Structure formats: structure tokens, C-alpha cells
Structure 1
Amino acid sequence: MASTLAVKERETLKPLEAVLRRLSDSSGFPTLSTTISDVNRVVSSDSSAQQITQVILRDVSLTTKLLQLVNSAVYGQFHGRIRTISRAVLILGCEAVRNATMTLMMLEFSKGRPQERSVQDELVGAFFAGVLSKALCAQLGMPNAEEAVICTMCQNLGKLLVTFFLYEESRKVRSLVEQGLLEEQAAEQVLGISYRNLGVGVARHWNFPDRLVEGMQRITADGMSAPTSDAENLRLAANLANDLYVTALRSSQEDKAAALEALRKRYGAAIKLDTKDLVAAVDQALKEVADCSTTVSLPIAGSSALHAVRVWTGGAVDEATSAQTDLAVAADPLMRDVAALDALENANEASAGAQHIISAGIRDVTEALTSDFALNDVLRMVLETMHRGFGFSRTMIYIRDARLNTMRARFGFGAEMERLIPLCEFPLAFAPDVFHVALEKSVDIVIEDANADHIARRIPEWFRQGVNTKSFLLLPIPIKGTAIGMLYADSERGAIKLSPEQLGSLRTLRSQVVLAFKHGAASGRL
């Protein structure tokens, strides 16, 4: 059996590679692919908390939407209390942040594409099915609800990708289906690979963990049995959610009871179902999708799929009224801001501006300092606040290494960080450069132009060779008269010029770092 599967995988490899090459030439796919691949890769790494934050911060839009999502009704228990990606990772965990990130990235499929209006319902339906899987997990006591959302959405990944990035091919597939061919067979005829195999292949290409890939697989009627592992639980939740969605979409009110009974019997060997629980899960999913549609920029107004599901449940059927309300909220900035404030406490970068990001970050750090915090968690929040709030190209923290008598960068955010961190180290023995002056005199230094005649000779060679940026700042971290570290930031976009308010905010962040070190030393956690 194993050898047969291996042969089948080899047979699908070449057409998969051909489709991947075509997808890579499509506008928008490389960015989507890189971000999801990187997020999946770093979640499994030892330093995933730092690295997943770094990956997300590369995309300003993704950062904003992720903070909105984790503070929305979907994660209602936090209600605006997560203001930095670092804190989101700390509170929710890397895997939950990974799942939320992938959901948001997948919802970006249709944005700006010429066929956007005609195929958005595919995306709305996939997202609804994902949210439905989460509601089912809650109703039926099934674990791993957040991962079930991803598996459910990704069961249709191959079809979604072709629809949004290879639209002409999707039309050819649809034409063959209209002529009577099964959709999977039609896709294989047009693309050389079925939608299902394409989705699994792309998931592996995107570094999906094995349990998520297995969770994407369809369950055949003869393969229905009680789950015995996390992956099988995910697979069951994803299949049940998609089948329940299709049932609600395609069966009439008159056929509703019979359709639900057929679904209950189909899954009876795997899980005990009550049709009332299934209907309750659909109702809950409709409510959650409506609640978070503005947050995730999902165009549910006028969705024929959601309208059909609402009619099936016997709920609101006046689509015209509900669509007008949805459109009013989407079009009216005041209404949109009021809705956002209910779920997100002034953390929208586009409307609140940089100073609000800084204030929110300071609040996140303050709350962390009053809890049982880890030093690195606080340092990440500070660096992220500097990175986002001030628009710096890079932020790093240097820590004194008493054993080696050096000052070296521990971690940071921004471009080429993995390359730069090992290069940013210098001996503590005094040299007449700006780094040692900042440390020895405990003075804050802002360099607007490192190449200026009176400054160039004060820039150390290790910095010229490694970082070589024209404008940067240094904020030493003093404890009992000795600098135990230093906050660093630079700008590739022009000279750093700070207002008194901005400098005050940076010094507040530095004071929080000092407190974190003091508390850590007092508790023996350093």
C-alpha cells in the first residue's frame, strides 16, 4: 500500500511543479506563498516567537488586520487588550497566531483581481465553512478548533488558487463540469492534476505541518471511523463542516430534516451527532462571520451562498435590508470606526497614527510587567513598538556579555536581521566611537548622517562593514550607573529626526526595559 501511494505521489509531482511555476508568475501569489511558507516554517523552530513576529511585521497591512482579528468577536475574550504582535504571540501562542495569519492571507486571494466580483462567493463560502468547523468543535467537544478552520478552508485550496490566479483554466474546468464531467476529473484534464491533489501539494510547498495536510484530506464513506489522533480529529471536523455547509447550501427547507438525517448517518461511525447541534453550529457560524466580516474585509453583503444558508436555517431572509446595512457599514468611515472600537481599543494603524501605536505598545509592556513575564517577551514588545510606531527600518537590543567582555545584539526586527545579528558585537574596552561614548557617558545619541565629516571618524569599522546605515540612534540601558545594554534603531528612508514627544516615548520604553531587567534580576530570572 505504501509503495502504491509513493508511486501516485511521483505521478502527481510533475504536473504539480508545472502549476506551481505558473502560479509563481501570477501577481500576488509569490507574496502570499512566501509569507505563509515562512510563518509555517518558523512556528516549528526553536525561536519561533521571535521569528513569527518578524515575519508578520514585514507586512504592515497584515500586522494591522491580525491585531484587529485577535481583538474581534472571534477572539472575544481579549476585547482590545492585545496591541502588539509580540503580545499576541505571548498570549495566544505561536500556533494560534499562525492559524489567524494564514486565514487572513487566504482571504486576500481575491483582492484586486479582475474577476474579483464574480468569484468572491467561493471565498466567502470557504471562510464560512472554516468558521463553521470552529463552531462544530465547540458544539461537539472536539479539540484543535483553530487548526480545524485552516484545514476546512484548505480542503478547497486547489480550486481557490486556480480560480483566483489561473482564472481562464478555472473557466475551462467549469465548462467541462457543465458538460457532465466530475469536477476533479475536469481539473485533471485541464491542469494535469486534480484540485484536491493540487491543494495538498501547495500545502506541502507552504510548509504546512503533516497534521494539517492530513486534516485537509477527504474522508470516504468506507473510511469513516472514530478519530484516534489530532490529525484525524482535524480531518473529521473539516469534512463535517464542509459537508454541512454544502447541505445547507444545496438542500431546501422542505428537504432540511432528511438532509440532516443523512449527514448524521454518514458520520455516525465516527462521532455521535444530534441534528439540533448541527443547526446550532450553522447559526453560530453565521453570527461569527457577520461579526468579523468588517474586521477581515470580507465582502459578505450580497453573498448568494450566505443568503442560501440563512434561508435554510429559517433565520433572516430579507437580504436586501441586510445587504444595505452591510454596505452602509463598509462605506461609512464613522460607522466602521465605531464597529472597530467595540472590538479593538484604538489599535488601527491607518486611523490612529504612529503615536497611538506607541501608546498602545507602552500599555502592552506595562501590562506585561505587572504579570509573570519573561524578559525576552518584554524586550520583543519594546522593539516591536519602536519598529512600528517610529517607522524605523531596524530595531535591535544589545546586551552586555560579562563573560566575553563584549556588547552584542541579542535579537531585533527589520531587514536582514538574521544576517546582521551575528555581526553586531563589539568589545567593551573603550574606543573613541559613538557606541562607547553612549555607553560610558550614558547619553542618548541620534546620528542623522554617519557620513558627515565630523561624524564619520566616530563610526566603528565593524558597524561600517556589517550594517552601514547613514542614520541611527543609540539608547543605553543603565542600571546602577552601568550600561547593561543598549536599544538601537536605524532608518534607511532618511535622517532620523525626533520631536520632544517622540524622544519622551522612546525614553519611556527604555525605562520599561530597565524595570524588566531589575525585576528579572530580583526574581532570579536573568
Structure 2
Amino acid sequence: MTASGTDTRDALLRRMSDYGELPAMGKSVSEVVRMASSEGDSVQELASFLLNDVALTQKVLRLANTVCYRTASGAPVSTITRAIFLLGFETVKTSALAMLLVDGMKGRRGQHVRNELAFALCASVIGREMARRTQFKDAEEAAVAALFKNMGRLVVAAHDHKLYGEIAALSESEGISPALASTRVLGCSFDALAESVLRGWNIPDSIVHSLAPLPAGVLKPARSRSEWMQQVAAFSATLATMLSRRGAAGEPAQRKALLTRFGPALDLDDETLTELLEGVADEAMALTSNSDITFAESEDEEAPAAAAATPVAAAVATAPDPLADLRLEAPGQPAADERHPSGKPVRAREMLMAGAQAISEMIASGAGGLNDLMFLALETVYTGMGFRYATICLRDVQTGLYKSRLALGAATPRLQRGFAYAAAGNKDLFFLSLQNNADLLISDASTMKIASLLPVWHRTMLPEARSFIILPLVVGGTPIGYLYADRDVTAPEGVTPEETAVIKMIKAQVIARISAR
């Protein structure tokens, strides 16, 4: 490591530290990585995370409605919960990570950044497909490892495109590997730089270790999950490079080299490689296109020679955009854009009906537990009616208090902790709703009549609520809970009879599922 290389690396790290979006992106990325599909409430945790980001929610729903993911029934996917159950937890999780990575780098313009992002997304899809073909436990982490395999190159491209071009030019002119070229210029390899970034994001060691370089030559079958993940991350990166080249996936020399190195270790032959390519091509294109990787380029930003110096950059720069012919089809456009001033979607009835259908399918298939079904119902009402905050409260048998069990929206953690109130003794709106099993749909909570019936705890904790609903959950004549949702503005458009009927249907579905326990 030379003194100049160390100075260059340190200057780059300082520049990255000054880029405020990178730490913020790292916090979101580490939060999604932490979520484990083996935990009972992970679906709700992931859904809640996604629903807090409108743009991310729309992208996931748009992806779920593309041709390669479309359900057999052809019905549009309108809720994140249903997308998770249809696509699979790990598919949605990895796709969300990819989209976070893209969004976090969008402030950095340039063809090199676009190339590296496309490479990362493609590699993640390959890693996920490889995870489906192994018996190793928690193999899905391989998709995350593959996504981060080129993190070192990506951050250099994003924060110093001239430095990125210098490394590429050195690699080409002297015929040395990008790892050696980056070490000469940066004072550390791309892999070491990636490790530094990921450790700063608190990414698990199992993923960071899998990014380490493999020995040269033919690889042997892995003796551990850790070694297998390392092989899959490298294989995914190599195959992603092939896919980015025009026709490279079909070139005998390229295929032979890939199978010679990775075939014995990953149990791949020419036939299985062809199957793998068929399985990932459409999905990779859909994910890349859906992530809106359309970075503007300036004429003097990067020289063509630098772009041609690395395999992925050369392939994408010289070949026509492989995504240009992709046409995403999303019948019904599940994320309604047109809204009333209150935030309520104009197509509220259609969105509520799609959610009710998803609930029916969940009940019929037996997929998910009671909590999953209640969360899907909550999400349907929350998104379908455009509420600011929504929660399902259930009665605690020991204390008699109605406590928040599930929640979505603004200030969720704070409000959920505070939702623990009795609905007895005082004839307020909540008491009357529960005792009479009456659904209350309040368009303007500021009127004297309504305000006088609000309990003290509601006026204290939710003073900004201007319109809300209360849907009591009554089983066998006994109130067991309620669904509450509100907005911080009035809703003069009200709730149509058709919308009311669908909301009642959703409530009935939840009660029927609770009664069947």
C-alpha cells in the first residue's frame, strides 16, 4: 500500500462520509436485512416498513403486477401483505433492498453508477434462484450477498467517477485484475472497501464474509453454508456479467469457463445453466426496469475508454439496453394516484374490493395465521381509504383494556404503545360503538356533537384527528376489539354505500376467522 494510495482512499472515505444519504440508506438497508422470515410477525414487520415509504410501496406493487410475477387468476395485487404471500417473503425483501440501493444512489449521476446498479440487481436475482436449489438452511441470504458483491465498485462510481475510470483504465492497460488495480489506486481492494461500508451498516458477518475473494481454479463442493454463500456470491456476479453482454450467455467459451470453475461446486451442467438463465432473465429485467435506473449523463463525466474497461460497464455501454423491449403490464394499476383532498383514493371501492378478495383467498388457502389476516384487513382499509393512521385493538382479558395489536401509519410505535384504554363506564363514541356493534364513519370530528362524545384519551393522544372510523369486532355478542383509523383532515366526500358495504364485508371476514379459532 503506497502513501498516495492511502491518501486517495482516505479522501474517498471522507467524501462518502459527507454524503448524508449514504448513512441514511445504510440504516434502512440494515433494518430490512435484519428481518428474518422464520419469525412469526416478520411479514407484518416487512409490510409496515414498506408502507411507511409511499414510493417503495408503489414499486413493490408494480413489480408484483409484472408479467413474470402475475398470479394465475390475473387479479391485480393491491396490498403489500398479499404481495409478500404471493411472491414470497425473501423475494419481496431482496427486491426492496435492491430498490433501496437504487434510491440511495439516485443522487449520483452517471453511466458507471447505472451499470453497477443494474449489475447488482441482476446478481441478486441469480443469488435468489441459487438459494432455491440448495438444502442449506437460511440459504436466502445468498441473494443479499450477491446484491452487495459489487458494493466497492458501486460506491467508487457514485462518489468519484474519475477515480473509477482511472482504476478501469489501469486494469485494461496493464492487463491486471480490477482487485489489483483498485489496490494500487485506492490503497485497498474493491472488496475491502465494500467490507468497510457494509460493516458500517451493521450487515451480518455471514453476509460480509461471503464477499471475500475465492481461490483461483476449479472450485470444490462447499463444506459449509458460509463457503457455499461465498461461491454463490461469486457465481452470481460472474453470471450477471455474462447476462449484461449481448449474447454472451450463449457463447460456448463463456459458458464452458463458467461451468469449469463453478460447475462441480454448485452442481451445475450445461442443461441446468440453461434452466437457470431462463428462470432469472425475465425477473432480472423486471426488477431492473421497475427500479427506474435512468441516470442522466453529462458529456464530460466519463470517457468511453473508461466505460469499456470493466466487463459490466463495457457490456452495457456497447450493447443496446436489454430493458428497452420490456413492457410491464399492471392491469388495474393497484396504487391509485387520483385522490380527494382528504387523501382518500377516488377508486377506494375498487381497492377495498381487491383487498377483500385477497382476504378470501388467504382464508380459502389456509395461508398465514390470524395475525396475518388481521394485518391484511388493516392494510386494506388503511390504503383503500387513504388513512393517516390505523390500528386493530383487542381486549386484554386480564386488564379489560383494549390494546393496540397491529398498527400502520404516522407515529406508529408511539401511538401503539399508548393505545391501551377501557371502553366502559363512559358513554363515549368508542363505548357506544362497541356496545351497539355499530360501525362509525365520521367525516368531520370537529363538529360539536362529535367532539362532545370523544373520550379524553382520544382528545389527548390524537388531537389532530379530523375524520376517523371505528369498526367494532363483536363475537357472540361480546365485544373483543375494534379497528380504528383516522386522518388529520376532514373528509367531506364521506363514504359511499358501496364502500361501506365492502368495509363491512372485510370486518365480517375478520370476525369469521376469529370465531373459527
TM range (shorter): 0.7 to 0.9
Change (3 A) 1:288 1:38: closer
TM-score w.r.t. structure 1 length? 0.76
* Letter paired with 1:438: S
Change (3 A) 1:468 1:347: same
* Letter paired with 2:63: L
Q: How much has 1:51 moved relative to structure 2?
A: 1.6
Percent identical among aligned pairs is 26
Q: How much has 1:101 moved relative to structure 2?
A: 1.2
Contact 2:152 2:191 in 1 (8 A): yes
* Letter paired with 1:105: L
Are residues 1:371 and 2:372 paired?
no
Are residues 1:490 and 2:486 paired?
yes
- Aligned position for 2:209: 214
Structure 2: how far apart are the matches of 1:405 and 1:129? Answer: 52
Contact 2:131 2:143 in 1 (8 A): no
Q: Can you give the 5+ residue segments of structure 2 that lack an aligned partner in the other structure?
A: 1-7, 296-306, 339-344
Are residues 1:56 and 2:43 paired?
no
Q: How much has 1:412 moved relative to structure 2?
A: 0.8
Contact 1:43 1:52 in 2 (8 A): no
Q: Which moved more, 1:243-252 or 1:419-428?
A: 243-252
- Aligned position for 2:79: 84
Are residues 1:516 and 2:505 paired?
no
Q: How does 1:145-160 map to 2 (within 5 A)?
A: 147-160=141-154
- Aligned position for 2:418: 423
Listed one character per residue, the Cα deviations across residues 207-245 of structure 1 (whole Å, up to 9, x for unaligned) are: 544443333333122794311333333322221232344
The correspondence for 1:198, drawn from 193, 197, 211, is 193
1:39 aligned counterpart, secondary structure: helix
- Aligned position for 2:98: 103
- Aligned position for 2:262: 267
- Aligned position for 2:25: 32
Are residues 1:476 and 2:472 paired?
yes
Change (3 A) 1:97 1:24: farther
Structure 1: how far apart are the matches of 2:469 and 2:9? Answer: 48
Q: How does 1:402-441 map to 2 (within 5 A)?
A: 402-441=397-436
Listed one character per residue, the Cα deviations across residues 393-442 of structure 1 (whole Å, up to 9, x for unaligned) are: 11001222343222222111012212221211212322133222322333
Are residues 1:232 and 2:220 paired?
no
Contact 1:42 1:52 in 2 (8 A): yes
The correspondence for 1:326, drawn from 315, 324, 339, is 324
Which structure exhibits the higher relative contact order, with contacts defined as CA atoms closer than 8 Å and separated by 6 or more residues?
A: 2
Structure 2: how far apart are the matches of 1:288 and 1:252? Answer: 18
1:385 aligned counterpart, secondary structure: helix
Q: How much has 1:56 moved relative to structure 2?
A: 0.4
Are residues 1:347 and 2:364 paired?
no
| TM-align CA RMSD | 4.3
Q: Can you give the 5+ residue segments of structure 1 that lack an aligned partner in the other structure?
A: 1-14, 311-316, 330-335
- Aligned position for 1:387: 382
Change (3 A) 1:277 1:476: closer
Change (3 A) 1:276 1:443: closer
Q: How much has 1:65 moved relative to structure 2?
A: 1.5
Contact 1:386 1:506 in 2 (8 A): no
1:51 aligned counterpart, secondary structure: helix
* Letter paired with 2:422: P
Listed one character per residue, the Cα deviations across residues 160-196 of structure 1 (whole Å, up to 9, x for unaligned) are: 1332245465456556656758644555576665421
- Aligned position for 1:125: 119
Structure 1: how far apart are the matches of 2:193 and 2:40? Answer: 30
Listed one character per residue, the Cα deviations across residues 71-114 of structure 1 (whole Å, up to 9, x for unaligned) are: 4355456655643112233445533321221122223355354x
Change (3 A) 1:435 1:16: farther
Change (3 A) 1:117 1:504: same
Q: Which moved more, 1:124-133 or 1:400-409?
A: 124-133
Contact 2:402 2:420 in 1 (8 A): yes
* Letter paired with 1:469: E
Contact 1:407 1:425 in 2 (8 A): yes
Structure 2: how far apart are the matches of 1:77 and 1:98? Answer: 19
Are residues 1:68 and 2:57 paired?
no
Q: How much has 1:299 moved relative to structure 2?
A: 5.7
Structure 1: how far apart are the matches of 2:388 and 2:88? Answer: 26
1:411 aligned counterpart, secondary structure: strand
Contact 2:218 2:260 in 1 (8 A): no
- Aligned position for 2:300: none
2:357 aligned counterpart, secondary structure: helix
Change (3 A) 1:509 1:20: farther
Structure 2: how far apart are the matches of 1:354 and 1:28? Answer: 35
Change (3 A) 1:166 1:470: farther
* Letter paired with 1:474: I
Change (3 A) 1:389 1:263: same
* Letter paired with 1:121: N
Contact 1:477 1:513 in 2 (8 A): yes
